[in-house]
Structure 1
Amino acid sequence: MSIGNSPTDDRPSVGRAIQQARIAARLTVEEVSASTRVRIPLVHAIEQDDFSRCGGDVYARGHLRTLARAVQLDPGPLIEQYDAEHGGRPEPTPAAPLFEAERIRPERRRPNWTAAMVAAIVAVVGFVGFTLFSDGGQGGGISVAGGDTNPDKPAPHSHTTPAKHPRPDPEPSDSAIAGLPKDKVTIKVIGRDGQSWISAKDANGKLLEDGLLRQGESKTFTDKERIDLVLGNAGAVQLYVNGKEVKEVGDQGSVERLSYTPGDPQAG
């Protein structure tokens, strides 16, 4: 069990401060848990300065911010006190190159598919035109060499090539969104700026994922009705709902609870 160090001044400990503010606000642990969706055992543990169940300092800070707002406390001083008692805040890992690579890869594929389709169409049209032109030239040569002057005999391939073989317009390629099933909800979570703890459940409450998402990893979930997400360190993830990116998922260190259906994206 990891218990916070005793403060050197007259301030109460971080957990004790949250407990006192909750009691002053006349809130029960159950009411705080219902409003923040932080589990009751975890609320009890944090009020006893036991942060071992949080899963690390990043998630502990996120829970502290959430609980502080619920009991009308300024989370800033609490976070500073927590960092002072637990060795300080670690330096964030720069992840801009990873983020750029993650954004560039899907955007490069779209013009490649379009270019390949156009090239294939041009090749087919060119081949057909060349074949018709070559056949027409050969037919004309045979007519002259054979001395065939019959005016009633139609000239071979007298029709106009563009009239019979119009060039079809290529289908627009707007990423993989069009290929997603419209009667389902599809969620993709990417570890963009660092690691994050994620939990995902389907509409029946079945647990699809519950663990650590490391930087650079991605997870995809699909259900016919709904996907419920819990994101620890929400500011570190990149979220796509039904193929569309959701902006401003949350702050660094915050814990966000989201729910999406086939008609989204919109926060639950």
Structure 2
Amino acid sequence: MTLGSTIRDAREAARISVQSLAESTSIRIGLLTEMENNNFAHCGGDTYARGHLRNIAAKVGIDPQVFIDLYNEEHSTEHRAIQDLLAENNVMQVPREAKRISWKLPAGVSLSVLLVIGIVQIVISNQGSELSPSPKPSTVVASESALPTAPADVVASTTPQSGPISLKIAAVRGNSYIDIVVDGEHVSKGSMFQGESKSFTGMTAISIYLSNPAGLDLTLNGKALAPLGGQNEEVRRTFR
């Protein structure tokens, strides 16, 4: 049973028409019909879809978590495997099975190399027997005064140490949904409501997923960032 059919069955069990449900939840009739047909493409993203589901659940007398769990399983783009998220942001590579190399290939290459070496040695030995070495006059070259070399410890090489990465997220213009991975570890996932703010610190990388980034202000290492996307969009970024 899909989420859409579950919504329809719950509404009919509560003896509520689509029109009455639309009026009580302020959701368009057309959108309610699409949702009951298991189509959530026009809900405005995961955050708004979950809000609609909670409103519907309250009107038909169903635990909202039932709808939310089905939505996450069937439609949510936020509940993919964390390995896929990290791979998209170059934090880690998906392991691939190593290809087996046939023993025939290295054996053939080795034989070819030995054959080439043998031919080269024969050619060199033949040329050496034909040419008689002529003595070279010894020359004495006056050595110029050697340039003084600086002591090894005069210039000390320094390797710059990269500092920690600090990221602050503030929901100042609306609600959003975030998914945060710091140094390869999943540290935060869930809704952010207007007025909330969260801070994260990492040593190598911070990967983020944002829903409705237009409602958020991001500060990286004390510097305010430009908006990462528009209203109801979904974006992913990695900071190093």
TM-score band (shorter)? Answer: 0.3 to 0.5
Q: TM-score, normalised by structure 1?
A: 0.33
Q: TM-score, normalised by structure 2?
A: 0.37
Give the greater-gyration-radius structure (CA): 2
